Amino acid sequence: MRWSAAGVGGGSVLFAVLALRVWAVFIDPDPWPSDGAMGGPSSAHWLGTDAVGRDLFLRVVESTEAFVGPGLVACAVALLLGTLAGAAVGYVPDHPVSKVLRGVLTLLSAWPRLVLVVVLLAVFLAGVSDPSAWAPARVYVLGALVGLSFVPQVAGVLSERVAHFRRARFVDAARAHGLTDVAILGRHILWANCRQLLLRQACSVFGAFLLVETSLSYLGDYGVPEPRPSWGNILADMRSAVVRSGGIAGDSGWVEAARSGGLLGVVVPSLAIVATIAGALALAEYFAQRDAEA
């Protein structure tokens, strides 16, 4: 297998994120240091402490819990439902089920993705008897809903590809050899000719999930609830601590923010979000290149 710069870079970033996720398993979930709130960086606390005295570095590492597993749930939902719908619409476009599916996909794609996710999440939380009991699992529900919101995109690109191969000569040959439609579709079209496309979509969904999770966690109500950390809610915590002197770029803002430890609390989660999304998209680009070469 030939790796490009995008593949190596994206793969490395996602591998590092997975390694942090494994490390997070061994972290004491509630480290309350005695050094006080908004402490600057030190040998004990590499990034300093937050507004209530928690170690920022450990919270940044622990935050991987908030999106790695749920992000994979989002990928699984998007790929599973998107593949089923896209394969049906592309392979048997005139079947009544395909027509209904096309209508449902058109409806889902007409809604802005975040609106769809927030509406579904609001209905879900209104429907459960004790929303606080669902707090730990809420981010996995969010993953499933984000995955659902990507089904039209995955199904759309896949159905075009399947429709393209449906009339290919190798499909006629396979049919002449007595292969069933399921075998032709599964093995010869989806596996042999669409897997790079699906991997590309999976990487895009993972990056998009991180974006939605951190956005909602930053806003508070539907993301990862405190005290569990997320890069989004760390940024929200730091915001009030750092906005002084008209922002970091204001008079003595950098100095004040650096002294208080707030600067690293803003910069590190921000860079982590951008780097992880970049990694996911670089890997998507790598799969796109492989797809084009195939």
Partner 1 sequence: MRPALAYLARRATGLAAVVGVSSALLGALLLFAPGSPVAEQGLAAWLGGFWRGVFAGDLGPSYRGIPVLDLVGRGAATTLPIVGFALLLSLTGALGIVLGLGDRVAALSRPLRLGLHGLSLVPVFLLGYVALVVFGVPPDGPRRWWAAVFILAVGDGTLSDVILGLDAERRRLVEQDFVHSMRLRGLPLVRRLAPHLALPLAQLLAARLVFLLSGVLVLEMVLGIQGLGLMGYRAAVKADFTLLVAIAVGLTGLVAAVQLGVDALRVAVDPRVRKDSRQTARGSV
To 10 degrees, what angle do helices 68-91 and 135-149 make?
30
Q: Are 82 and 151 in contact (CB under 8 A)?
A: yes
Region from 85-93, 116-124, 136-144, 169-177 binding partner 1, contact rule CB under 8 A:
116-124
To 10 degrees, what angle do helices 135-149 and 151-166 make?
40
8 interacts with partner 1 by CB under 8 A: no
Residues 141/144/145/146 CA torsion (nearest 10 deg): 120
Q: Which one of residues 51, 81, 120, 144 is an interface residue with partner 1 (CB under 8 A)?
A: 120
115 interacts with partner 1 by CB under 8 A: yes
Q: Give residues 122-181 in contact with partner 1 (rule: CB under 8 A).
A: 122-124, 126-127
Q: Which is nearer to partner 1, 49 or 204 (CB)?
A: 204
Q: How far apart are CA 6 and CA 289, in angstroms?
A: 9
- Least separation in angstroms between residue 228's CB and partner 1 is 19
- Least separation in angstroms between residue 32's CB and partner 1 is 25
Region from 78-86, 158-166, 187-195, 209-217 binding partner 1, contact rule CB under 8 A:
209-217
287 interacts with partner 1 by CB under 8 A: no
Q: Which one of residues 3, 15, 32, 111 is an interface residue with partner 1 (CB under 8 A)?
A: 111
Q: How far apart are CA 181 and CA 88, in angstroms?
A: 11
Q: Which is nearer to partner 1, 115 or 255 (CB)?
A: 115
Q: Which one of residues 52, 164, 221, 252 is an interface residue with partner 1 (CB under 8 A)?
A: 221
92 interacts with partner 1 by CB under 8 A: no
Q: Which one of residues 142, 189, 268, 273 is an interface residue with partner 1 (CB under 8 A)?
A: 273
Q: Which one of residues 20, 87, 121, 203 is an interface residue with partner 1 (CB under 8 A)?
A: 121
> 30, 18, 112: which is closest to 71 by C-alpha?
18
Q: How far apart are CA 230 and CA 158, in angstroms?
A: 33
> 56, 66, 41, 9: which is closest to 275 by C-alpha?
9
Q: How far apart are CA 194 and CA 139, in angstroms?
A: 30
Number of residues in contact with partner 1, rule: CB under 8 A?
Answer: 46
Q: Which is nearer to partner 1, 37 or 243 (CB)?
A: 243
Phi and psi at residue 49, to the nearest 5°: -125, 160
Dihedral sign, Cα of residue 234, residue 133, residue 22, residue 210: negative
Q: How far apart are CA 49 and CA 36, in angstroms?
A: 7
- Least separation in angstroms between residue 153's CB and partner 1 is 11
- Least separation in angstroms between residue 166's CB and partner 1 is 17
Distance of CA 112 to the CA centre of its chain: 17
AA identity, residue 192: A
Tokens of 204: 């895009």
Contact residues for partner 1 (CB under 8 A)? 103, 106-107, 109-115, 118-124, 126-127, 211, 214-215, 218-219, 221-222, 232, 235, 238-239, 242-243, 245-250, 253, 266, 270, 273-274, 277-278, 281
